[in-house]
A and B are shown apart, each in its own frame.
Chain A
Amino acid sequence: MFAFTIRRIIQAILVMLVISFIGFAVQYSIGDPVRDMVGIRVSAAEREALREKLGLNDSFWIQYSRFVRNATRGDLGTSYFYSKPALQVILQKAPATLELVFVTAMIIVLVSLPVGIYTAINPKKLFSKITMGISTVGVSFPVFLTAIGLIYLFAVELHWLPSYGRGATVNIGGWETGFLTKDGLLHLILPSIALSSIMLPLFIRLIRAEMMEVLETEYIKYAWAKGLSRRRVWLLHAFKNTLLPVVTVFGVEIGILFAFTILTETVFQWQGMGFMFYEAVERSDTALLVAYLVVIGVIFVLINTLVDILYGLINPMVRIAGTK
Chain B
Amino acid sequence: MGHLLEVKDLKVTFALRFGDLTAIDGVSFTLDRKEKLGLVGESGAGKSVTGFSIINLISKPGFISEGKVIFEGLELQSLSDKDIRSIRGNRISMIFQDPMMTLNPVLTIGTQMIETVMAHKKVSKKEAAEIALEKLNKVYIPSPEKRLQQYPHECSGGMRQRIVIAIALLTDPSLIIADEPTTALDVTIQAGIMDLLIELCNTENMGLILITHDLAVVSQVTEKIAVMYAGKIIETGPTDLIVKKPRHPYTKGLIKSLPGAQQPGETLNQIPGMMPTLTDIPKGCAFHPRCEIHESVCTTKIPILQEAGQKDHLAACHLLHKTLEETNGAQSTPEQDN
Chain A interface (Cβ within 8 Å of chain B)? 217-219, 221-229, 232, 236-237, 240-241, 244, 314-317, 320
Contact = CB atoms under 8 A, between A and B. Distances in A.
Contacts of B101: 217-219
B119 A227 contact: yes
A228 B116 CA distance: 7
What are the 6 A-B residue pairs with the smallest beta carbon separation, nearest first? A227-B89, A226-B89, A227-B88, A218-B101, A316-B151, A225-B94
A219 B103 contact: yes
B98 A225 contact: no
B107 A237 contact: yes
A226 B88 contact: yes
A232 B115 CA distance: 9
13 contacts: A218-B98, A219-B102, A222-B104, A225-B57, A226-B89, A226-B116, A227-B119, A227-B120, A228-B85, A228-B115, A244-B106, A316-B106, A317-B105
A227 B96 contact: no
B57 A224 contact: yes
B112 to A, nearest CB: 8
Given A316-B153, A317-B151, A317-B153, A222 B85 contact: no
A315 B104 CA distance: 11
B85 A241 contact: no
Contacts of A317: 105, 151, 153
Nearest to B87: A227
Given A226-B119, A227-B120, A317-B151, A218 B96 contact: yes
Contacts of B94: 222, 225
A241 B105 contact: yes
Interface residues of B, number: 30
A226 B119 CA distance: 9
A236 B96 contact: no
Given A217-B101, A218-B101, A222-B94, A240 B88 contact: no
B139 to A, nearest CB: 16
B153 A228 contact: no
B184 to A, nearest CB: 11
Contacts of A315: 106
A226 B87 CA distance: 9
A314 B154 CA distance: 16
Contacts, number: 76
B106 A314 contact: yes
A307 B167 CA distance: 34
A221 B115 CA distance: 15
Interface in B153-168: 153-154, 167
Most chain A beta-carbon contacts within 10 A, residue among B59, B86, B107, B167: B107
B55 interface: yes
B90 interface: yes
Contact of B96 (A222, A314, A320): A222
Nearest to B102: A222
B57 A229 contact: no
Contact of A241 (B88, B97, B104): B104
A217 B119 CA distance: 21
Contact of B57 (A221, A232, A236, A320): A221
Contact of A240 (B85, B102, B107, B167): B107
B104 A223 contact: yes
A224 B116 CA distance: 10
Contact of A218 (B102, B120, B167): B102
A37 to B, nearest CB: 58
Most chain B beta-carbon contacts within 10 A, residue among A227, A228, A229: A227
A223 B101 CA distance: 12
Given A218-B96, A316-B151, A225 B55 contact: yes
B243 to A, nearest CB: 30
Contact of B85 (A221, A229, A237): A229
Contacts of A316: 105-106, 108, 151, 153
Contacts of B57: 221, 224-225
A320 B106 CA distance: 12
A237 to B, nearest CB: 5
Nearest to A218: B101
Interface in B208-256: none
A200 to B, nearest CB: 26
Interface string B63-103: 00000000000000000000001111110011011100111
